[in-house]
Structure 1
Amino acid sequence: MALTTTRSPATPPASSSPITWLQADGWNHFPDLIHGFSQRIEDRNVALATLTADTFPLHTLKQVHGDDILIVHQESDMTARPEADGLISRESGVLLGIATADCVPVLMVAPEHGLIAALHAGWRGTLKGICQRALTMLKDRWQVEPAHVWVALGPAISPCCYEVGREVGEALHERWRTNSAWQPFVAGDKGFLDLRAINRAQCENVGVPASQIQSVGPCTFCASSHFASYRREGTGAGRQLSVIGWRSSITRRAPQQDSA
């Protein structure tokens, strides 16, 4: 699977809607997988109806820019929206959801093991290594090797627009040693930061093949007509929703092959 930047939108149901979902290239070959990265939304239920006809419960979090990750079961009570920034599950009939407005939404799938994850990676969570932590959990708890995981990094603010202080950029560079993700200005105490590149590097560093990691969607700051951006709009910014789930209870879901 080649690395690419923009993906085809999900096919809406017969009742047309202006909401568009972006999907990871090739993931439609994973049987029974539901996934998508939305554009700016106002009503989650309306948005979900354009992604899937299934009416599974959507599990979300009170995201706090950390690296705590919760395991979701069918009987999990998430109505109180616990504080965390990641969800992992191998259950069918539940949807994992992450809300973002510049931070990186990360979806992971280990199809042969029936495991999925949804992560919220702002600069603080990225500094703490939330992607690496999720992959470590998959390996330690379920013996899932990173080589068997696919990763999609959704719409997020890009280095063209993400200006941060030197202390933030250098802390991330020092921790993760990415060559071009931090671009300090020649003069001054700021620079441009590429959050998706750092999260990609975290995944590669623990063994996810580069060919199984892709960036999906544009810069949220640039694409003002379709995406919410906290950096651009402030506290009044809306949110995008990123979702992943399974339709069936099949334990192993090997990728299907296209017919000749």
Structure 2
Amino acid sequence: MMIDLEHVALTYQSPDGEIEALRDISFTVEEGEFVSIVGPSGCGKSTLLSLICGLEPPTGGRVLVDGKPVTAPSGRVGLMPQRDQLFEWRTIWGNVTLGLELEGGPGGAAKAQTQMLLEQYGLGAFAQKRPSQLSGGMRQRCALIRTLATGPRLLLLDEPFSALDYQTRLSVSADIHGIIRREHKTALLVTHDISEAISLSDRIVVLSRRPAVVRSIHDLSALRTLSPMERRDAPAFREFFNTIWKELDINV
């Protein structure tokens, strides 16, 4: 399995004392899966991603990636945050190769791979443009290519579509989902949008309010052969939505 969370807990200090954010979180993500995490605002969804990518340690339990405990950030894991965080003073090429520069500079193979990703996903002609010259959807594709350029096997997506308008969000989320599938990556998405989670995922992990525990895990195998847009028209979509909505409503 790609990710294994074993009884993970996190308690942190605040000016008002200790805050228990996560309690006894256990679930796995298999290699090649697309799994979403949903839960009430402030329940610790993004905090889980921080633990998985090694930005902070848990105070209890273990986080394993590829069977190895996570103790620090690793090239195996790529994080795509809420905002695209593109630098306006750098070209699109300069932005997508930033991670490679931090690793010592893009070698020939990495440079060719990054150029191929730009061409394949519609940004080849924009390599020397600035981020302000791109649409919102193009900026998100650029941010994903920057993450893919360093060759991670696991992608952590922290509400990457939340800043987009509804129509663009539908299109871009389906687009990003297709790229992740074609690149054979494992993905863990944090989102507040139940519909988005159902349309993109193989499974959905539902968290309770803080301190977060795993309330349920939903297997979406009934929808797996459908595209994200086709899923939204399937009868099972509404059933999953209603079930998850009720689970979240109990905890808000």
Which bin holds the TM-score, normalised by the shorter protein?
Answer: 0.3 to 0.5
Q: Quick check: which one's helix share is greater?
A: 2
- Which of 1 and 2 has greater Rg? 2
TM-score (norm 2): 0.33
